[in-house]
Chain A
Amino acid sequence: MLYTVIKKNLYQDSVSLMLLTNHLSSINGVNQIQVMMGTPANKDIFKGSGLYTDELEEANPSDLCIVVNTEDEGTVDQVVEETDNYLSNQSQESQQSSIPVVRTWEMAENKLPTADVALISIAGEHAPAEANKALDRGLNVFMFSDNVSFEDELQLKQRAQEKGLIVMGPDCGTGILDGVPMAFANVVEKGNIGIVGASGTGIQEVSTIIGRNGGGVSQAIGTGGRDLSSEIGAITTIRGLRVLDQDPETDVITYISKPPAPEVREKVAEVFNTLSKPVVAIFMGDKPKEAHGNVHYTWTLEDTALKALELAKKSTTIDFAANEDLAKMKENNKQRYIKGYFCGGTLAHEAAMIVEDAFNLEGETEHTDGMMLHYEGHEVIDLGDDAYTEGRAHPMIDPTLRVEKVKEAAKDPETAVILLDNVIGYGAHEDMAGVFAPVVQEARETAAKDGRAFVAIASVTGTADDPQVYQDQVDKLEAAGVIVTESNAQATKLAVEVVNYLNGEQSTSTSITQNSKADENDKVAELIASKPRVINVGMKSFAEAILEHGGEVVQYQWAPIAGGNKRLAKILEKLK
């Protein structure tokens, strides 16, 4: 039976109503249904489909007309209800992916004119041709694809080198560019360890151990497994090492390799020697060689990660050349001594040990009155020694004595570095940094009046959960111009570096620029200097990961030219 519902003055366009009609057709019990505006032409359509009723006669073009053929009158109510729901909720669910999809290089460039790398993951048979197109466009190439011939790999890498670009891969399983995971990469915190690697899982193992142990990765550059063959000659490896050496965010370079061709190994080792940054290298399967200079060799991937972490933690440095205080101090050749005042006995001991070792001093064995080291102007004193705690509280609680010592040291024209510890936690002074910050500040001002300066270095022993809160203490000291390092050992080593610098010896942590002039064409440096802007040729999931981590990406929905028809492809190649 036909039922008619007319909704007066409810205009909807015909597309909406056709969609609505389709929607309503699926209601149980509806044999046939039509929803249209009551125009004369539409009334004819009602007639044509056998759904015309007398009620339609009255309908105007601005009336919404529903005619339903059903056995059950109850269905009509349901139809009306569904109609109301539908009309009041028409906005489409947004299906827009924020990744633009393109089908040609031309449009890819159009959508992302600033692209700097192509991530290629299509079948190896087609990958070299597309990689060449990327190089044509001045793009670096990250080639996930495998089954690429030696000849193609060499051609691509040489071409990239000529153009100041890099080809990572082929068969490059993983990479991290400025914190953005490429292909099969783990989400590792951004940090100061750079990786160049010929092995995808090797990079993953090392980068994740670094991440789990609180470190971070600046860049991970995959080279492809065959880069160290004699045919390829480590083109990408060398380019990668050099670019990391220039990368301001990389402090330590980690190198992960499969067993290389012997002559190529030599070549790479020579490159290590020219780098200004420490290198941790593993040649899988080779027994680690003796460390030389800045280069450390490891045996397992874990060792590699841990060694890199250790080196990377020496993170607090001074820009010696640019430091005005140091320049002033350098002029005064008497001002070459470290004054260390500690409340922690073992910390004092450790500091003394490091200073002795650095300057080849005779060890102080007596430690009379907490004097852990006293050599010429150097002194390291444990103020927690019984000699200082008679009649007063331990210096962890009562800072008075240390404050006096700091003030004296600041007046002493021999003092180059004042070295302090700050042990916090339950029972300790509630705000040791708050006490010392103004003292150091004032001492610096006093020294400045005398035309002098000194360096204050400290470490804080404590955690974020301690009542004083680790970072608050660090912040207060830093605000007063104190350099705060990760550990007591680092603080002491830095103090030694300062003295070495003042004595004219080159510090090991300063940037040595020997043989590392910026490459003539630095498109690779540009690539790693900011989040990558990627044309993703192939697997879509890679694009999503890039986008999620702040990279820009265009998805190139690649298909073989002319659907793989070789004859047509050939015509297209020639028909220009």
Chain B
Amino acid sequence: MKYQSIQEANEAVIQQVLESQPFLLDVVPAKSVIPELNGKVLMHAGPPIKWGNMTDPMQGSCIGATLFEGWADNEDDAKKMLEAGDIKFIPCHSVDAVGPMGGITSANMPVVVVENKVNGKQAYCNLNEGIGAVLRFGAYNSEVINRLKWIKDVLGPALSKALKQIDGGMNVNVLVAKAITMGDEFHQRNIAASALFLKDIVPYLLTADLPEKELQEVTKFLADTDQFFLNIMMATAKVTMDSAATIEEGSIVTALSRNGYEFGIKVSGLGDQWFTAPVNTPDGLYFSGYSAEDANPDMGDSAITETYGVGGMAMIAAPGVTRFVGTGGFNDAIQTSDEMREICIANNPNLSIPTWDFQGACLGIDIRKVVETGITPVINTGIAHKTAGIGQIGAGTVRVPLGCFEKALEALAEKYGVEAD
């Protein structure tokens, strides 16, 4: 290894994070930037998974995407195609992308393009559909499909036209640094960042030469969608952590993700390999009439935000959502972030958190510290109903299973020739 020690390699890894300059450049059809999507291929969240192991909501999302792409024109046919293996699956993470919840993304869905100006790397994520019955939670009724079509035909192109007017694209770091001081942690809560995004994009939407009806629809949609920025944040975190992974050494986590079946992590010194363990089911608050029994096991690539040090890791940044941590309040949130700091190697000065005495957000989850202490990262998450189509039934937190880190540690020991026997 070209570094003197794992510690030194890890410092190089986080240096990549600190130096990265992510810019939101464009919104484009997924297939235009992800060649793997040509043909009948669907991207999904988490480590690789077979149809038979997908939970109901992810299967529902697949059906919805099949209908959206026009590969089938009814639910039954779509299901048959999927069961028969006519449609291939590929993890978002394998093609420079991420997707929330089911993460199901197909060729013609628009994705945001975030580029790290330091090295030209890009990452992609689909657009947030809002809340209620939405594809990412497994809903696929006509309302859902129609909204996806509107996103493809109206929202995506409108945002593209607006963004292209910004010289060099939109500087995401600036927006994130502002929003974290306004109470966002970027996983459960993105309302400040979404509002800032809207504020920044509106002047360009106005000059994008959009039909008045479309302009109204687009601005209304952005104004209504509190979590719109989540998907931009995810692509940002993805491109940043992928940049960090180029060091190819060390023990820093570069991806956290789950597919409803398995939780998978990637580590800076261990390349593209997933280290997996069965997922946990989130703890949280449920909408009336629902309970933990109805909850789908944990899924989504959105834990890339925690990988980057926000989300549950930065719980204290978002007093507005602190009560998702058990029934506690502000002090529990401090304890959560303090606990997360134990397994990280640094604080990120670009993400100074006022409610944490202006400490920067956690930076660099070290698998050695996780295994040593048994403290696993906490993920802030939405909770899907286990039956496709019902959608979100609550929100809460979930822990990454320790098994992922233990397996990765064994692999790292092998890589560096450390023997324990």
**Closest A residue by C-beta to B421:** A567
Residues of B within 8 A of A92 (CB): 323, 328-331
A21 and B288 contact, CB distance less than 8 A: yes
Residue B130 at the chain A interface, CB threshold 8 Å: yes
Residues of A within 8 A of B286 (CB): 18
Say which residue of B288, B321, B331, B368 sits within 8 Å of A32 (CB atoms).
Answer: B288
Q: Compute how far the CA of A92 lies from the CA of B325 in the bound complex, rounded to whole angstroms.
A: 13
* A401 CB to nearest B CB, Å: 71
Residue interface mask B400-421, A partner, CB < 8 A = 1: 0010001001101100101111
Residue B133 at the chain A interface, CB threshold 8 Å: yes
Q: Compute how far the CA of A370 lies from the CA of B373 in the bound complex, rounded to whole angstroms.
A: 81
Residues of B within 8 A of A570 (CB): 420
Contact size class for A?
A: 35 or more
Residues of B within 8 A of A1 (CB): none
Residues of B within 8 A of A33 (CB): 288
Say which residue of B339, B371, B421 sits within 8 Å of A562 (CB atoms).
Answer: B371
Residue interface mask A2-28, B partner, CB < 8 A = 1: 000000000001011011011001000
A15 and B289 contact, CB distance less than 8 A: no
Residue interface mask A543-576, B partner, CB < 8 A = 1: 0000000000000000101110101101110111
B413 and A44 contact, CB distance less than 8 A: no
Residue interface mask A98-112, B partner, CB < 8 A = 1: 001111101100000
Residue B132 at the chain A interface, CB threshold 8 Å: yes
Residue interface mask A303-319, B partner, CB < 8 A = 1: 00000000000000000
Residue interface mask A452-463, B partner, CB < 8 A = 1: 000000000000
Taking A13-B320, A15-B324, A48-B390 as contacts, is the C-beta distance between A100 and B338 under 8 angstroms? yes
A15 and B372 contact, CB distance less than 8 A: no
Residues of A within 8 A of B290 (CB): 49
Which residues between 285 and 336 of chain B lie within 8 Å of chain A, taking CB atoms?
285-290, 320-321, 323-324, 327-332, 334-335
Residue B273 at the chain A interface, CB threshold 8 Å: no
Residue B152 at the chain A interface, CB threshold 8 Å: no
Residue B251 at the chain A interface, CB threshold 8 Å: yes
Residue B5 at the chain A interface, CB threshold 8 Å: yes
Residues of A within 8 A of B329 (CB): 91-92, 94-95
B331 and A571 contact, CB distance less than 8 A: no
A45 and B132 contact, CB distance less than 8 A: yes
Residue interface mask A80-103, B partner, CB < 8 A = 1: 000000000001101110001111
- Which of B7, B328, B332, B420 has most A Cβ within 10 Å? B420
Residue B375 at the chain A interface, CB threshold 8 Å: yes
Residue B369 at the chain A interface, CB threshold 8 Å: yes
A575 and B368 contact, CB distance less than 8 A: yes
Taking A32-B289, A575-B418 as contacts, is the C-beta distance between A41 and B372 under 8 angstroms? no
Q: Compute how far the CA of A19 lies from the CA of B321 in the bound complex, rounded to whole angstroms.
A: 12
Residues of B within 8 A of A100 (CB): 338
* B377 CB to nearest A CB, Å: 14
Chain B residues close to A by CB (< 8 Å): 5-7, 130-133, 251, 285-290, 320-321, 323-324, 327-332, 334-335, 338-339, 341-342, 368-369, 371-375, 390-391, 394, 402, 406, 409-410, 412-413, 416, 418-421
What are 19 A-B contacts defined by CB distance under 8 Å?
A13-B320, A18-B285, A33-B288, A34-B287, A49-B288, A51-B288, A91-B329, A94-B329, A94-B331, A95-B328, A102-B338, A104-B373, A562-B406, A565-B406, A568-B420, A571-B420, A572-B409, A574-B413, A574-B420
For the complex of A and B, 8 pairs with smallest distance between CB atoms: A92-B329, A34-B288, A49-B289, A96-B331, A18-B285, A570-B420, A41-B132, A574-B418
